Chains A and B, each alone.
Chain A
């Protein structure tokens, strides 16, 4: 861990402005991801801005019948919220499947969106990793690499990492939007698809946030109802990241939406795949995973995704 300076700022817009002023500075919320990364010197911010007292910890109604979730609402509070459990159960289920009770108590909504990949080479500073050290190369793409957990679609020749969040997969299927304030004081609203980037040739740039820009919350549109499920497949029963996860909403009109976790650099969803939901898991995956480029070690994820969706669709 490199020495760093620390300050607390209790207003989101001011925090953004200050972060812009001090290059390389980082916000710290729950710290459950950032501190680990700092200890390993995967992230070496010279300055931390503590945003835990910005008051962004409410869950409120929006004018449009939806819900606004403050960026600092903890994963535990969000998962347990009555409105979320009734109207957006897929989100509640996704959150409860993540990490552990202790971590969810600390983890914030904004921090969860911005948690970084679990690629084993990203985590080992002795290994080349374009995401950690741009231009260094990608150990995961070398022969003999351990890629069982890594991405199968939307990857590039520079990076095949996945985004590990469960929450984000549910948010994606719910058409949620991320709300931000720029250092200049402007607010932006971005769909999750707009918010996250594919690795391309800059895998170190994971989203479209500008320097200093802060997440203030997440906005859920009015509930879509339907049957909502989240199925996280993992090797052990708890405390493990998804091999594959499926967020599914089946609405009464026979339509629905499906998003995948554990397969790509961002929660993975395609409109044309949603449209196939009436035709079964195979048809959905033919569209959703079209163009996949798995490794020998993680090709099982294609089968697994299809079978997991089939299991959900078959559930009484």
Chain B
């Protein structure tokens, strides 16, 4: 199906099931521990061997010698493969760091060997018997240094005349902001069971957000035909972008299986999540804003850097600044600096989360300079067109409504406007807000639906990384076919199914449901053909055509009817800005003596097109806000700047928010539809929640204390000596 123009009124505008709060169809499996996650696929493979990786203990250099004799002779060990045993594996386009092979070390905890044994304990114990000698090369690990050295800034875009605008501006702001490197720190580590026993056909049961990309990446890496590779990833214990790519777990499991002729499973040890897998790069960002005294912004100038291994693109923090707010003159520049830390890559709202963490503090600071309410300041500078290309309008933007509704719901007008002056006992109380903007891209997405005996099976390689894909896809299919939820079974994450968008970039929900809709329409075509009618309605489990009603279970007996299609998104979208918007409001308490900051309540008002399922969408938004709270207050990878690695590489040292950190969170969805997005008029919300949330917390801290912090995470040591105490 081609989607070549905005959707008009359609069945989703009169929905029975879409848009209604359905709890997760896979919920029972999860809470009973019976959802088949990759590492425990006892149903597909009996007694696999277990592989355990060894990581490099230096950040940069070469391995000069490895001796695995003792490991090979250790009890239970079936094979040891060292990185010197094979040539460097070709890198897939999506991989920056090399995954295995050869003597070169690019980062700490790069996989340099895998031990395959009967048990995990045997494999793990034997890895420490491998002797390794290195020739170390000094590396670059300090982003702040790189920022200071940076001379010219690569301008990404420049409209108007920014320098002139600043010269003539009445009010200006010029500040530098720092965001920390962050880890996805998902609950389930990367894990794979590989069956490549015959060295010909490879099957991987894995935990991966993007089935088709990863299948192609495997084909490149092992120089084999993609058709010989099968991938299953039906359940994923969190990804946040960390599982978009092929990673070492799958590579080592595959190598181990080929070597031993037995299925092999490998899970990355927890410490590998931080230094072997990918992370979000920290950033340094200089932001300048110019405005007239009446509050109208005349110019933005935003320059940022982030780190990457050579060949990568880092964390591009300047993109939102290009079009979120009005302003005639604007310039953004981003530098991805080659450094020797582990691979930086996409993490939930890549670029956007970091950029808005800075921009939305800057907006708060600017509002204060102007003596304006930060909500009103944003309203005044709203835009309905892309200010870089005014001919490009926003398809459906209700940011102002988010701001107004949020202010009302939060009782914003009653807030204390003198920073540092509201106190409850030893706690300083503050309120802050921030805007959020995240694009709403879509990717072509396919599905197959099979009808038999009135039951519908949906198959697509779309994944569910905890987001609710199973549920919204079942809703889409039931709605379109006039069935009930119970009549639909959804099967996901399998390379045998039609390729879908996968889960990333908050594209999944909108794209994959559109693909399922297309497949259902194809099936409807089959059915009408079968009935010999031109068109039909599908309702209450029946086909209604030409005054006749036929139960779907009677349309085809003893036979399966199949519809398969891919939804292709047309070019008309390129003429539009399609985005999602939100306003976050936050209240915090900061201890006047110690600087501990504790969240008290949050409200997010969200404009993201049709909300397919308010229950699962709400989980996405509050999950994003929770991650944003972590980013604001505690989450930061600590760098040993001489040794070049992240030292807090476990869940005790890398502090994500825990339950006690997250009190009341409220979400309001605006009742919007964006026909330019998909036939369902839906957009994603998976990344919107984390956008702007950290700045909302930071702004609330400022309101509480009168101390402006620009350096994330905003831990107490950054403000301790400026706090009032008594």
Contacts and interface: CB of A to CB of B under 8 A. Distances in A.
A81 interface: no
A304 B716 contact: yes
A146 B659 contact: no
Contact of B634 (A139, A236, A310): A236
Interface in A135-166: 139, 142-146, 148
Given A1-B121, A235-B633, A146 B647 contact: yes
Interface stretch (B224-232, B531-539, B649-657): B649-657
A145 B642 contact: yes
Contact of B124 (A1, A235, A240): A1
Contacts of B725: 307, 310-311
Given A1-B124, A239-B658, A126 B57 contact: yes
Contact of B660 (A118, A121, A237, A243): A237
Contacts of A124: 271, 647, 649
B720 A303 contact: yes
Nearest to B721: A303
Contacts of B634: 235-236
B409 to A, nearest CB: 25
Given A144-B641, A144-B642, A300-B717, A315 B658 contact: no
Interface string A227-248: 0000101111111110100000
Contacts of A303: 720-721
B596 A233 contact: yes
A314 B124 contact: no
Interface in A266-316: 300, 303-304, 307-308, 310-311, 314-315
Interface string B392-431: 0000000000000000000000000000000000100000
B243 interface: no
B528 interface: no
Contacts of A304: 594-595, 716-717, 720
Nearest to A40: B271
A238 B121 contact: no
Interface string B630-655: 00011000111111000111101101
Contact of A233 (B75, B125, B128, B594): B594
Interface string B118-157: 0001001100100000000000010000000000000000
A251 interface: no
A96 interface: no
B631 to A, nearest CB: 13
Nearest to B592: A311
B726 interface: yes
Range, interface on chain B: 35 or more
B412 to A, nearest CB: 25
Range, interface on chain A: 35 or more
B318 to A, nearest CB: 29
Given A118-B652, A304-B720, A307-B720, A237 B640 contact: no
Contacts of A314: 426, 593, 726
B280 interface: no
A183 to B, nearest CB: 29
A241 to B, nearest CB: 7
A215 to B, nearest CB: 24
B450 interface: no
A145 B128 CA distance: 24
Given A310-B593, A311-B594, A145 B640 contact: yes
B661 interface: yes
Contacts of B647: 120-121, 124, 145-146
B618 interface: no
Contacts of A300: 716-717, 720
Contact of B716 (A1, A233, A238, A311): A233
A238 B647 CA distance: 21
A58 interface: no
B584 interface: no
Nearest to A300: B717
A303 B128 CA distance: 42
Contact of A237 (B141, B639, B658, B723): B658
Contacts of B593: 307-308, 310-311, 314
Contact of A236 (B57, B128, B591, B660): B660
A126 B652 CA distance: 19
A6 B672 CA distance: 64
B598 interface: yes
Given A126-B57, A304-B594, A238 B720 contact: no
B658 A238 contact: yes
A41 interface: yes
Interface string B651-691: 01101011111000000000000000000000000000000
Nearest to B656: A236
A310 B723 CA distance: 13
A123 interface: yes
Contacts of A3: 75, 121, 125
24 contacts: A1-B125, A2-B125, A41-B125, A120-B638, A124-B271, A124-B647, A126-B55, A126-B57, A127-B57, A139-B640, A143-B641, A144-B643, A146-B639, A148-B638, A236-B633, A236-B658, A237-B660, A238-B661, A240-B655, A241-B652, A300-B720, A303-B720, A314-B426, A314-B726
Pairs of residues from A and B, 9 with the lowest C-beta to C-beta distance, nearest first: A126-B57, A144-B642, A144-B641, A238-B660, A311-B593, A237-B660, A300-B717, A146-B647, A120-B647
Given A307-B720, A310-B593, 20 more contacts: A1-B124, A3-B121, A120-B647, A120-B649, A120-B653, A126-B55, A142-B643, A144-B641, A148-B717, A234-B596, A235-B655, A235-B713, A238-B661, A239-B658, A240-B652, A240-B655, A241-B652, A300-B717, A304-B594, A314-B593
